[in-house]
Every structure is written in structure tokens, then in C-alpha cells.
Amino acid sequence: MEAHLLRVRRAKVLASRPRGHALGLLLGDLIVTLHIAQARSLPVLLIERSETRSSPLLRLQCEGIQRIVPGEARTARYMWAAAVFGDGVRHGIAGLWNATIEWAQRRVQALVVYFSSGRPLSLVSIWMRWRSRTTGAVPARASRDRIRITGAEVMRRLALLKRTRSAAGAVYESHDVRRYAALTPLTVRFSAADENEARRAAGAAGIPHDRPLATLHVRGGAGLHGASGRGKDVIRNADITTYAPAVQALVDRGFTVVRIGDPSMPPVTMPGVIDLATCAERSSLLDFWCVSRSVFFLACDSGPYLLSWLFNVPCLAVNVVNALGVYPLRPRDRYLIKRVRERATGRMVPFDEMLEEEFIYSFRRRLLKEESIELIDNSAEEIAAAAHEMADVVVSNPLPTERQLWFRSLVARARAGTVSRSKLFEKLGRDDTYLGDGWIVDAFVARQS
């Protein structure tokens, strides 16, 4: 993520340019940006990349956060008024006085620098030196309309954007996105134009407004890395046909199931299911809108599952490979993990062994290089049982069972280990992150016991 705190006259603006070459990265950067802006009461300027141009996610409105649009004079005037009078007249006068003192100090410092430089004295040189030292390239005119951030100003200041990485290469500069999403969920909504367009597209696709919605995403096809066949990506894929009993169970319970994805995925034709991935009306806006309106999101170990964090929608993640990193975040979240089997003996690796540090951090080597172990996708029966359980959880939110508490203790132990903390620091610039308050599907643990 690239982010920078811009000063626009007396106002500060958080400018952020989220990554866009993968949806998960875009969502993670966006969530961090919005949480920082909310916590610090900062206006936000979201800057597009070529990959994120026209993305509806960058047009979302968030409760409690002012959005800045480049070149919009009306917004600029509001910023000016808020900067001076936002906390009332008394605080506004104090802020104006402090700003005046700061202005005078900067100019005195500029004069000291000039006169100590030994350069010839002239009124023109004093003025030019003074202007460049105190205002840089920002126009010195006092008109409030000049406060707006023009397109040219945005491009100039993009050069100041600094990649938020620690020396070890952290993505979020020690910001714990899991803690943000769990403890201070965002309230976001689509712009009026996007909301109207999404409703129109939903009607054209046949999505009813009088039935509860469950959105389904199963990683597969030739999406971002599917066609390349990269092992670390392929292991997160799953067979959509194994979801049929779960989908049927949800339809029988009154849900409309909307499948999202990309056109390379195999089509789904089932009563009560609307396959947006392969229909003519598909669009990213409609996909996001469906997730935001869902009772819960039936996701997988892939970037789109972060949509549930952004829109604060309960999530059931299925066929998860990363048992630690994708541990359910909120009390109504659940997940199923892929089981591991030894190729030589056919032995299923038990949970307590799967969640030992030595096994976790040798997993990819043993799976992809040595090929001594293999992953077993969740079965149709396991996914169906999980869907039934999730449909009950979003209504009643039952207390965890002893089996779920036991499994969580295994995850917590693995996360607290020396190797885990070292790996986290290398990746995130911190040695711990929020574990999560959700649970593994109880029926799944009971079946494996």
C-alpha cells in the first residue's frame, strides 16, 4: 500500500493508493486506510491505479469519514470551514491563532535561512526564497477555492507517496487489519449512482428482493493465477460440484444463492441459484453489492473473503488451506479446513499434529516439493453440514462447544510459538496479530474426532 498524509492549507488529508493486482490486496489496503482515517478523523483521498480504475470499491462511502474528490471546489470549501470552525467558534479562533503563529514562525525561519546563506540581498530574491521555503509549489493566493486538490496537484503529490513498509518488507506497516475488522467494524455504503445501478442489474439478473441472500464464491477456473498452474495457488482451488448439497440445503431453507466469480469458471445450473460468474449481467459492482446484502458469505481461501470484513457480513470459509491466517474473525464466522494425508501410509494427519509449528512451516515444502503429503478437499457432506450450521449461527449465535474451544486452543498455541511470531514480524512488522473470535464448524470437528 502507498499512503501519505497531505497538508492542504490547514487541513490534513490521508491520501492512499491501494494495490490492485489482486482483490485481496486491494481490500486489505482499503480496510486499513478507512480504519486509520476513522481513528484519526482524517478526510480520505483514494487514488486509482490502472488496475483499479472505475472500481466501485474506491467509490464507497464510509460512515464518519469524509471523502475528498480531486478538483471538487465544494468539498475544498467544506474542508476549509471544518479546519477553522469544525470544533466550534472558540476552538476555531484558537486554531486560527495557532495557524497564524505557525505561519509567522515558518517565515521567520525562512528569512534566517536566507540571510545566513550569504547570498546577495534583493527584494525579489527575498520574496522568491521566502515563497519557495514556506509554501513550496502550493499557490500563495488566499482564495478559499485554491484549497481544493486539483488533478495536477494530486499528480505532483503522488511523487511524495511512500510505500508503507518496514525494513523487513511489511505490507501494512504494523497495522493489524484483523484487529481493526474485528473490534471496530466499518459501516460502508455504495454511492447513490452505484446503488441504483446495482439494483437495476440485480433485477435484470433475476435476483429477488423478498428472499434472504447467500453469496457463494469457490476459487477455480482460470482466474488470476488459475491458468498458470502455480502450486501455491492451485492448492486453494475446489470443485464447485461438491457444493451442490449445501446449495440445495440453503435453497430449501428459503435462501437465494448467488454465485460470483469470473467467466472462466464452470457454469452452475441449479434451481434457486443465480450464477453471476457466467451470466451476461455480471459486473464487479453487482458481485460486491450481493455480498453486502447477504445474510452470510459462503467463501473460500481467496481474496474475496475479505469482502465480508469490509461489509461486516458473517462468513463461512470452506476448503481453507491457511488454518492460521484465515482463522474466523468474528463470533458468527466459521470455517472448514482441508485435511492433510500422508501419501506413503494413507494416514490422515490429526489436528493437533497439523497445528504444530514444525508441521505448519514445513507444510509447503512437504506438499509441493517433496510431495510426501496431500490435501483433501472438504466433502459434499461436510460442506452441507457447515451450511446448515451457519444458517443457524447467524440467527442464534450459540456458545462454542468443547470441541471448538479445543481446536481454537491449538491455533492459539501455534500462533504464540517462536517461529510464528518471527514469521509474522518478517511479513507485517509486528510479532502478533488478532487471532479472531470465530470458530471451526462443530460438526466438522466432531466428525474427525
DSSP class per residue in 179-212: HHHHHS---EE--HHHHHHHHHHHHHHT--SSS-
Instruction: Indicate if the pLDDT at residue 413 is higher than 80.
Output: yes
DSSP 398: P
Q: What is the pTM of this model?
A: 0.78
For 59-70, the pLDDT digits (tens) are 999 999 988 775
Instruction: Indicate if the pLDDT at residue 58 is higher than 70.
Output: yes
- 128-148 burial: b if 16+ Cβ within 10 Å, else e: ebbbeebeeebeeeeeeebbb
Instruction: Indicate if the pLDDT at residue 31 is higher than 80.
Output: yes
Confidence of residue 143 (pLDDT cuts 50, 70, 90): very low
Q: Mean pLDDT over residues 405-415, rounded?
A: 95
Is residue 86 within 8 A of residue 99, CB to CB? The reply is no
Q: Mean pLDDT over residues 378-396, rounded?
A: 97
The Cα 96–Cα 93 span in angstroms is 5
For 312-348, the pLDDT digits (tens) are 999 999 999 999 999 999 999 999 999 999 999 999 9
Residue 431's SS3 state is coil
Which of 40-49, 76-85, 142-151, 237-246 bottoms out in mean pLDDT, i.e. has the lowest? Answer: 142-151
For 285-297, the pLDDT digits (tens) are 999 999 999 999 9
Half-sphere exposure (Cβ direction) of 120: Cα atoms closer than 13 Å: 2
The most confident of the ranges 36-40, 129-133, 270-274, 275-279 is 275-279
**Around Cβ 446, how many Cβ atoms within 10 Å?**
12
Residue-level pLDDT at 406: 97
**Residue 432 vs residues 301, 302, 325, 408, 422: alpha-carbon distances, Å:** 21, 22, 12, 16, 9
Residue-level pLDDT at 94: 52
Torsion 312-59-70-46 (CA) sign:
positive
Cell of 201: 442489474
User: What residue spans define the domains of the chain?
Assistant: 2-71+153-163, 83-148, 177-338+377-448
CATH class (in words) of the domain with range 177-338+377-448:
alpha beta
The most confident of the ranges 137-146, 160-169, 196-205, 225-234 is 196-205
Instruction: Indicate if the pLDDT at residue 27 is higher than 50.
Output: yes
The most confident of the ranges 16-30, 85-99, 133-147, 322-336 is 322-336
The Cα 257–Cα 270 span in angstroms is 10
Query: Which run of H or of E encompasses 309?
Result: helix 307-310
**How much is the mean pLDDT over the chain?**
80
